Structure 1
C-alpha cells in the first residue's frame, strides 16, 4: 500500500514478531531490512526486480555503500509502519536515499536516515552508470531544493 506525498514515495511495511527484540520493540538491525523491502517493492512495481530467471535489469545489481540512521522512538509490537523514502541526489553511478519510518497516521517519527547505493556492472562488480529507464523512474523520487529548505 502507498500514500501520496509531496516528494518521494511511501510504502506500508508490516512489522512481524521476529522483527522484535526481547523487549518487544523492533530490533535496530531490522530497520535496514524493512527499508530494503519498501525500496525493493517500489522498483519491482516499475519492472526492476529479481525473478526466478535473474535480474530483470542490470539496475537491480547495486550495493549499499553507506547506511546511517537516527532512532527517535521505538516501534513497539507488531503491525504496520510507514516507510517514506526519496532521493536527495542521483549521480552517474550512485544514489543518495533519504528515509523515515513513521506511524501509519504520521503522528510519530520512529527513525530517519540516509543510504547510499552504487550501481554495479554485473560482470565486473565495478561501478556502472544507471540506465536511462532507471534514471527516469528515480527522477520521480528526487527532492527539489525547495523541499529541502522546508
Structure 2
C-alpha cells in the first residue's frame, strides 16, 4: 500500500512518493532535523518495492534482495523543510550493478516547486550467511529497470 496522499506527479524517470513529516521530526527551530532525511527516503523507497513484491513483512523477507546494507549516503540541503505535512521524494537509480545499486533522490514540495535537498544512496546486496556481496535476483533487476534513469536524460 502506498503512502501517497495525492495523485502522483508525472516524472520523466524514476518515481515520486509522498511522505509525511511529523512534529517529532522537527528540531527546536521547527525545521526538519537533518538526520530525518535518510528515514524519510527509506519511507519513500519501501512502499515502491513492497508494491512490487520485495518487502520485509511479518518478520520475513519476501525476497533475498531485501537483505542489503547502505554503503554510502550523501545529501546537499537547499532549503529547509519547515513544519509538518507532506513532502515529495523523487528517486531513481543511476546505477544497478551485479550486487550494488546507487539511488539519486530529491526532496521537493508536493507541487515540485521547491527543492529542499538532493543526494545519493548506495546499497550492496548481501548474502545473509556470509555477509558478503551477492548478486541481485532477476526479480530485483526487473523492478530496478523501472527506476533506471535513461542515458538520454542529462544528469
Is the pair's TM-score, using the shorter chain for normalization, greater than 0.5? Answer: yes
Asked if 1:47 is matched to 2:53, the reply is yes
Corresponding position of 2:63:
57
Q: Structure 2: how far apart are the matches of 1:75 and 1:88?
A: 25
Corresponding position of 1:67:
73
Corresponding position of 1:121:
127
TM-score, scaled to structure 1: 0.96
Aligned CA RMSD, in angstroms, stands at: 0.9
Aligned residue for 1:127, secondary structure, equals: coil
Corresponding position of 2:139:
133
Structure 2 residues without counterparts, runs of 5 or longer = none
CA displacement, residues 26-52 of structure 1 (integer Å, 9 cap, x when unaligned): 000000000011011111111111111
> Could you say which structure has the higher helix fraction?
1
Q: Structure 2: how far apart are the matches of 1:94 and 1:71?
A: 25
Structure 1 residues without counterparts, runs of 5 or longer = none
CA displacement, residues 53-74 of structure 1 (integer Å, 9 cap, x when unaligned): 4110110000100000000000
Q: Structure 2: how far apart are the matches of 1:148 and 1:136?
A: 23
Q: Structure 2: how far apart are the matches of 1:90 and 1:31?
A: 22
TM-score, scaled to structure 2: 0.93
Corresponding position of 2:118:
112
Aligned residue for 1:147, secondary structure, equals: coil
Q: Structure 2: how far apart are the matches of 1:3 and 1:64?
A: 27
